[in-house]
Amino acid sequence: MDYAKLFRLDDKRVVVIGAGSGIGRESALALAAHGARVTCADRDVAGAEQTVAQGYPGALTAYALDVLDDAAIERAAAELGPVDVLVFTAATNVRKRILDYSSEEFDRVVSLNLRASFQLVRAFGKGMAERGSGSIIGFSSIRGTTVEPGQSVYAATKAGLVQLLRTAAAELGPSGVRANAIAPGVVETPLTAQIKSDQGWYDAYARKGALGRWAQPGELAGAVVYLASDAASFVTGSVLAVDGGWTAVDGRFEPPN
């Protein structure tokens, strides 16, 4: 084992779904920095092109993909050729309490967060299994295990994604394919704009974790590189928490000595 190259991804072919912004963008850049050839897939192709323009000439390419379109996913799996690593970050949220939720809103959140993930795992996992290797990395959330009012459907999809990936690990593992989830805490991305705009809400979230702050998108990239690389060759069916201690700490009250 050459430990100096443990995290290298030289010539690995990677597809990052949601690479046009936020965690997806930083993941794509980090993977390219470690030698991977990365397809930056996003419905917002202009955003994906901005990711490509940020560096690593020749290592990054943009690709237009709407993951709500089943046929487009199948087409992408065929057009992009053999893929060694699939990363998907795309998600949405409607912050409403259960009694206020509409059926349309339910369908919208489930369609992107869970159904699209299912289709991606099927389309790209098939080729990986046939080739005998691959790594599938999906983004769950702290909301897959801890909840708060207004997060019902989002939390359900993130918990469901964990079980989907665990099942993929069980079914595809004999063919050499690994499947894992990353569970971020609070991260400053476009998805959390509603919270960031409310200073009290923002501060309360910052205080909840052990580190007392929010994460930046780039702080999730190391976990992606790890799970994509040979450093995680025996890691599958796992949930890697990158949450600043959110799920380890049960509140910010400091009891007296």
Longest dimension (CA), the chain: 62
Pairwise CA distance, residues 157 & 88, whole Å: 14
Indicate the pairing of strand 239-242 with strand 13-17: unpaired
Q: What is the b/e burial string over 163-196, where b = at least 16 CB atoms within 10 angstroms of the residue's CB?
A: ebbbebbeebeeeebbbbbbbbbbbbbebbeeee
Distance CA 237, CA 44 (A): 30
Cβ-contact 52, 26 below 8 angstroms: no
Structure token pair of residue 147: 């909840």
Helix (H) or strand (E) holding 240, with range, is: strand 239-242
154 a catalytic residue: yes
Indicate which residue of 56, 63, 101, 154 is catalytic.
Answer: 154
Could you give the dihedral angle defined by the CA atoms of residues 45, 72, 235 and 11, in that order, rounded to the nearest 10 degrees? Answer: -60
Alpha-carbon distance of 157 to 171, in angstroms, equals: 20
- Give first-to-last CA distance, the chain, whole Å: 48
- Residues labelled as active-site residues: 154
